[in-house]
Amino acid sequence: MSNFVNVLTAGIFGGTALLALKSGVGCGLSGLRIREMLCFASVYALAALIIGAVVGSVPLTLTEQIVGLGLIMHLIIGLALVYFGIETKKTWLSDRKDISRRTFLLMSLPCPACLAATFLACLFFTETAGVSGIMAGAVAGGIFFAGIIGGGAGTSWITTKTGTKNPSTLGNVMLFLGLFYLLCLLVVPAYLQAQSAPAFSTATDPTGMLAAFGLMAALILLGALADRLRHAATRPGGR
């Protein structure tokens, strides 16, 4: 294979590995046992194997619909991760109630967006490497299995050692991932549109850029100061 095909294949399965690690982190932060992580990893591996087996028989029109469905579900899951991440953190900090055994499913279950990404990974791998769909599904399933088990066990060990294994940490991770999902929906289409647009040169204004960065920094500092004052007021002895 050419260098381009090698890079493309590595990128495809690198993205698959990131999805597997995301699911593993969710399992690790929710306190699942190894047996339960093995069940999640086996479900992902079996789903990837089934997708690889049928990927060659799917018509092009249905492939476009799957991609469109993946984008829509990407938006829905991003919003859900933000909402339930805040709920998980708030419920733990306010009421000391742990709902992470339910909310972590948004990160760890094979969602339609992950299944669409797995479908595309198997499709591109069969086209670029010339292997069968079952082989592509087996490779993707193996990556998912190893990534979920490794990510879950590693996350559980690190958070236990650092004393951060609690629902608040899971809520922070869910919130970060949700914002990242939403940001990708804004950045990727804009980048693709910019790539197809004619090139033109623009003049930059260093003074304006510095003023914009200064305004952003001032807003961040004001938010941090307001949060510190609010926490100081709610402590014992405060007003």
The tens digit of pLDDT for each residue in 52-79 reads: 888 877 776 766 676 666 677 778 888 8
* Cα 155 from Cα 145, distance rounded (Å): 15
Residue 197 has what pLDDT? 47
Whether residue 219 is contained in a domain is answered as: no
Q: Which domain holds residue 141?
A: 3-194
Whether residue 56 is contained in a domain is answered as: yes
Residue 238 has what pLDDT? 45
Whether residue 120 is contained in a domain is answered as: yes
Whether residue 235 is contained in a domain is answered as: no
For residue 100, give the nearest of 150, 167, 152, 194 by alpha carbon.
167
Mark residue 72 as left, alpha or beta (left: phi above 0; alpha: psi -120 to 50; beta: remaining): alpha
Whether residue 73 is contained in a domain is answered as: yes
pLDDT band at 134 (very low <50, low <70, confident <90, very high): confident
Cβ atoms of 24 and 149 closer than 8 Å: yes
Whether residue 37 is contained in a domain is answered as: yes
pTM above 0.75, yes or no: no
With a cut of 80, say whether residue 42 has pLDDT above it: yes
Kindly report the average pLDDT of the chain as a whole number: 78
For residue 174, give the nearest of 113, 98, 71, 86 by alpha carbon.
86
- Structural domains of the chain, count: 1
Whether residue 22 is contained in a domain is answered as: yes
Whether residue 10 is contained in a domain is answered as: yes
